[in-house]
A = this chain, B = another copy of it.
Amino acid sequence: MQLRIPGPTPCPPDVLQSLSKQMINHRGKEFHELIQKVTGQLKNVFQTKNDVLILASVGTGCMEAAIVNFLSPGDKVLSVTNGVFGNRFADIAQQFGADVQRLSFEWGKPDDPDTVRKALKANPAIKAVLITQNESSTGVCNDVKALASVAKEYNKLVLVDAVSGLGAIDLKTDAWNCDVVVTASQKAWMIPPGIAMISISPEAWIANNSAKMPRYYFDLKRVKKSLEINETPFTPAITNFYGLDVALNMMLKEGIENIFSRHTRIGKLTRQGVKEMGLSLFADESSASNTVTAIYPPEGINPDTLRRVLREKYQVILSGGQQDLSGKIFRIGHLGWVNDDDIKVTLKALKEALSESGFNK
């Protein structure tokens, strides 16, 4: 089977095996050592010296944590968005009472730093800027470095949703001045959904001191305090920690630069392959994501029917479009535990399924 969706991604055999380990006391030595080890390793992949905390939730919960710990109701926030997940980040902020200004870019196009600069110049009261690194609904990778740099020209807090990018696409948390960065286990990390990871800069901790949005489960100060004794305030998702330990060892052995190169190569391979079949990419190629590719089906072919054929006949599982893009595109996920052969198998199946559906270039 080829599970080629933008998460959950397939888990390597060693990760799967580790998930069968028996429970341990989450207040005992073995867990203390485990959380200490993986937290240190996570910092390498986050490219940060900041605090990195691990939550028992999936990515959206961690996005909520990135909002409610650093903002107060009424705070002005600039949401830079070009897809479903950018909108979700804005929705969360709005739900908790932020005064959200949405700077929406066309889906499939990257967020434009110059437009962000104008918006920040025009609205000095803005406190934080919400950025999506990898918009997996459209297959666009935004330029976090440039966007964060613009936000820092105006001393804004930079909150980054890197759920489907971090660990696969370069993101230099410290060098690029990202105050808060969020990711989740079932993406580049090659482990099952259930934990999410977040980094917090000293500047973000200062904002935390006066942030008044209500929080309890996602109260990061509490999580940080527990981490000082190598624990979590509430029961940790132990099985995911077992998997994370194995996956991080694999990742650091491969080396993060090599991981980024592999994803760059595989992203290119995927896009070239679908273009050679005569299909069109949804996203501008200049900002194409190296973890997910969104594709228009040929005229007259329903992407969901095509996906059904791929699934039933070829055991290749792809994703459909979300929200406004439902029934209009399909998406190939290529992140985490993926190599060139996986993509070749996927593309071959796609070509055959298209041909059976009556499409010939």
Interface of A toward B, CB cutoff 8 Å: 1, 3, 5, 7-11, 16-17, 19-28, 56-61, 64, 91-92, 95-97, 184, 186, 192-195, 213-218, 233-240, 311, 317, 319-320
Q: Which residue in B21, B184, B214, B238 is a CB contact (below 8 Å) of A193?
A: B238
A16→B20 contact, CB < 8 A:
yes
Please determine whether A60 and B217 come into contact, CB atoms closer than 8 angstroms: yes
- Compute how far the CA of A315 lies from the CA of B91 in the bound complex, rounded to whole angstroms: 49
User: What are 15 A-B contacts with C-beta separation under 8 Å?
Assistant: A5-B25, A8-B235, A8-B238, A16-B20, A20-B20, A25-B317, A27-B320, A28-B317, A61-B217, A64-B216, A64-B217, A96-B214, A192-B238, A193-B236, A193-B238
**A22–B95 CA distance with the chains assembled, in angstroms:** 35
Q: Is the CB of A239 within 8 A of B194?
A: yes
Report yes or no: A19 in contact with B22, Cβ–Cβ below 8 A: no
Report the bound CA distance from A234 to B59 in whole Å: 8
- Judge whether B194 and A56 touch: CB under 8 Å: yes
Q: Which of B8, B9, B16, B23 is close to A8, meaning CB atoms less than 8 Å apart?
A: B23
Q: How far is the CA of A11 from the CA of B21 in the complex (A)?
A: 9
Cα of A61 to Cα of B218 in the assembled complex, Å: 8
| A209 and B97 alpha carbons, distance in the complex (Å) | 19
Q: Is B27 a contact partner of A319 (Cβ separation < 8 A)?
A: yes
Judge whether B22 and A16 touch: CB under 8 Å.
Answer: yes
**Contact indicator B19/A3 (Cβ below 8 Å):** no
Given A56-B193, A57-B61: A22 in contact with B7 (beta carbons within 8 A)? no
Which residues of B have CB within 8 Å of A24? 3, 8
- Copies per complex of this chain: 2
Output the nearest chain B residue to A60 by Cβ-Cβ distance. B234
Q: Tell me which of B91, B195, B214, B233 contacts A97 (CB under 8 A).
A: B214
Q: Would you call B237 and A193 a contact (CB within 8 A)?
A: yes
Q: CB distance A237 to B19 under 8 Å?
A: no
Whole-angstrom distance from the CB of A170 to the nearest CB of chain B? 24
Among B11, B91, B95, B235, point to the contact of A23 (Cβ < 8 A): B11
In the bound complex, CA of A175 to CA of B23 (Å): 34
Other-chain contact of A26, B8, B213, B311 (Cβ < 8 Å): B8
A234–B185 Cα distance when bound, in Å, is 13
Closest 6 interchain pairs by CB?
A194-B237, A8-B23, A192-B239, A61-B217, A60-B234, A19-B19
Chain B residues lying within 8 Å of A58, measured Cβ to Cβ, are 56, 234-237
Smallest distance from the beta carbon of A190 to chain B beta carbons, Å?
9
Which of A7, A215, A237 is packed against the most chain B CB atoms within 10 Å? A237
Chain B residues near A22: list those with CB within 8 A. Answer: 1, 3, 10-11, 16
A214: B residues at CB distance < 8 A: 95-97, 213-214
Q: How far is the CA of A233 from the CA of B60 in the complex (A)?
A: 10
B23:A311 contact, CB within 8 angstroms: no
A61 contacts across to B, CB distance below 8 A: 56-57, 61, 217, 234
Flag if A10 contacts B28 (CB, 8 Å). no
Q: A26-B193, A193-B238 are in contact. List 20 more A-B contacts (CB 8 A).
A: A3-B24, A3-B25, A8-B238, A10-B23, A17-B20, A19-B239, A27-B320, A28-B311, A56-B56, A56-B58, A56-B193, A56-B194, A57-B61, A58-B236, A64-B217, A96-B216, A186-B235, A213-B214, A239-B239, A239-B240
> For the complex, what is the distance from the CA of A84 to the CA of B7, rounded to whole Å?
37
